[in-house]
Amino acid sequence: MKYISTRGKAPVLSFEEAMLTGLARDGGLYVPENIPQMPPEAIAALAGLPYEEIAFRVMQPFLGESFTDEEFREIIARAYEGFGHAARAPLVQLAPNHFLLELFHGPTLAFKDFAMQLIGQLFQLALKRRGERVTIVGATSGDTGSAAIEAFRGLDAVDVFILFPHGRVSEVQRRQMTTPSEANVHALALDGHFDDCQARVKDMFNDFAFRDAVALAGVNSINWARVLAQVVYYFSAATALGAPHRAVSFTVPTGNFGDIFAGYIARRMGLPIERLVVATNQNDILHRALSTGGYMTSEVAPSISPSMDIQVSSNFERALFDAYGRDGAAVAQLMDELKSDGGFHISQGALQTLQETFASGRASEDETSATIARLFAETGEILCPHSAVGVKVAEEHLGTAPMITLATAHPAKFPDAVEAATGLRPPLPNRMADLYERSERVSRVANDLGAIEDLIRERRAG
Ligand SMILES: Cc1ncc(COP(=O)(O)O)c(C=O)c1O
Ligand SMILES: N[C@@H](CCOP(=O)(O)O)C(=O)O
């Protein structure tokens, strides 16, 4: 199994190399050269299996020679043993044809744990074998950062630096990043928004002198391994509801397009997914792009679903690569336009291809609050604001196939928004009940590449 860049000019890599590399050296994102196919009998055989076994069968064909089956099975077992629900990703029925896939039972209460817990173990094994040490730098609007810190804290082969937008994450998210005391963990509060954090991370990857000097690695969803781990729960949920004998649809609260791109990969592997619905908050660039073909950035407006306050949606590049017939030069040109003009127009043919797979919708702030309140009153389910965006948009796309909406975070991560909608302040699980008492450690940084690079050079241990 080989991995190629969406911009067509970077070295072709193995799974392990692509995972340790993060962003391709031509600025593109790695994707598999071919998508392994799962025939209907193999999909049918997943029904009723433990999540860990489904994970092994779905992901193993993407690994090539990188890890033995025994190593990979052990890593999967360790990755999910700390989850607070035996099913790992349980389904809850909301209405006759509408289900919620709860992805928030991992250690940091967001869907990011599914991938991050796994790649923490994969990095550890790969780096030990190679005798190498890396500096992980990540950008977060709240959840990736806490999941990464949880997965990599205390590991001797990595330093982790997480850039988050100062004042734009919830208090729980911030404390999850700033309270771990391990010396290899560094939380950096940047003066700017998430897109600034993500742009600086990409700048560091494109500064080859810095990149090579610190052995830079990335665990944002620019890293293919992150996307791959998220493919699994599309299979577990769909087979629980009758796939491959009946098709299902998914609605995915979307920001950086990683989670929904994982659903797209599941579909490409053969999972019968009728519709993949992109749900955005008021920062709705993806909804506008998929409706009109114009991908135009504008100011990020802070919302009650802060983890989706994103305008430059990294993984959309992977979808564009396929929609443009895997033409790396065409993608590179669009990305240049994005940088110079703040946007681009998707060609008619590529837009049509995208629209054959993806539908989309948006939820305003009021609609998000009203959905939290209504779902609580009607079903007793307390949604986080991101999941509420998903539910609202899913309700506009219900059809004959069962609809599965991804619940991407635990409501206790966003207690203010939930309390404002329901009057209830959801408590944190017992194991993190003292989060508000723990002391914080954080460095405030300007939105300045040189200054951030200097700080990383100084603080890293390697
Ligand atoms: C709670 C939550 N929901 C949804 C999203 C959007 O996911 P993606 O960026 O993969 O589209 C994020 C952030 O990524 C998130 O943290
Ligand atoms: N919403 C994310 C933003 C980063 O996304 P990623 O999936 O590319 O890591 C977050 O919570 O940090």
Please list the pLDDT of the chain residue by residue as tens digits (462 residues).
999 999 999 999 999 999 999 999 999 999 999 999 999 999 999 999 999 999 999 999 999 998 999 999 999 999 999 999 999 999 999 999 999 999 999 999 999 999 999 999 999 999 999 999 999 999 999 999 999 999 999 999 999 999 999 999 999 999 999 999 999 999 999 999 999 999 999 999 999 999 999 999 999 999 999 999 999 999 999 999 999 999 999 999 999 999 999 999 999 999 999 999 999 999 999 999 999 999 999 999 999 999 999 999 999 999 999 999 999 999 999 999 999 999 999 999 999 999 999 999 999 999 999 999 999 999 999 999 999 999 999 999 999 999 999 999 999 999 999 999 999 999 999 989 999 999 999 999 999 999 999 999 999 986
Q: Out of 103, 220, 406, give the residue to mutate to test ligand 2, the one with the largest number of ligand atoms within 8 Å of its CB.
A: 220
The Cβ of residue 288 has, within 10 Å, a number of other Cβ atoms equal to 17
Amino acid occupying residue 345: H
pLDDT of residue 440: 98
DSSP output for 80-139: HTT-SSTTSS-EEEEETTEEEEE---STTSBTHHHHHHHHHHHHHHHHHHHT--EEEEEE
Amino acid occupying residue 289: A
Q: Out of 140, 152, 228, 318, give the residue to mutate to test ligand 2, the one with the largest number of ligand atoms within 8 Å of its CB.
A: 140
pLDDT of residue 461: 86
Listed in sequence order, the DSSP H helices in 215-254 are: 224-240
Cβ–ligand 1 distance for 176 under 6 Å, the answer no
Q: Which atom of ligand 2 is nearest to the CA of 259?
A: 7
Burial class (CB in 10 A: 0-12, 13-18, 19+), 25: middle
CA 453 to chain CA centroid, Å, is 25
State both tokens at 74. Answer: 């052990």
Segments of 156-284 assigned E as strands: 158-165, 185-190, 216-217, 248-253, 273-280
* Ligand 2: residue whose CA is nearest its atom 1: 307
* Ligand 2: residue whose CA is nearest its atom 12: 140
Are the C-beta atoms of 385 and 417 separated by less than 8 Å?
Answer: yes
Burial class (CB in 10 A: 0-12, 13-18, 19+), 348: exposed
Q: Which atom of ligand 1 is nearest to the CA of 253?
A: 4
Which ligand is nearest the CA of 406, by number?
1
Which residues are catalytic, by number? 112
Centre of ligand 2 from the C-alpha of residue 256, in Å: 6
pLDDT of residue 300: 94
Q: Where is 328: in which H helix or E strand?
A: helix 328-341
pLDDT of residue 462: 67
Amino acid occupying residue 181: S
Q: Which atom of ligand 2 is nearest to the CA of 198?
A: 4
Pocket of ligand 2 (CB under 6 A): 140-145, 220-221, 255-256, 258, 307, 314
DSSP output for 437-459: TS----EEE-S-HHHHHHHHHHH
Backbone angles phi, psi at 24, to 5 degrees: -65, 155
The Cβ of residue 125 has, within 10 Å, a number of other Cβ atoms equal to 17
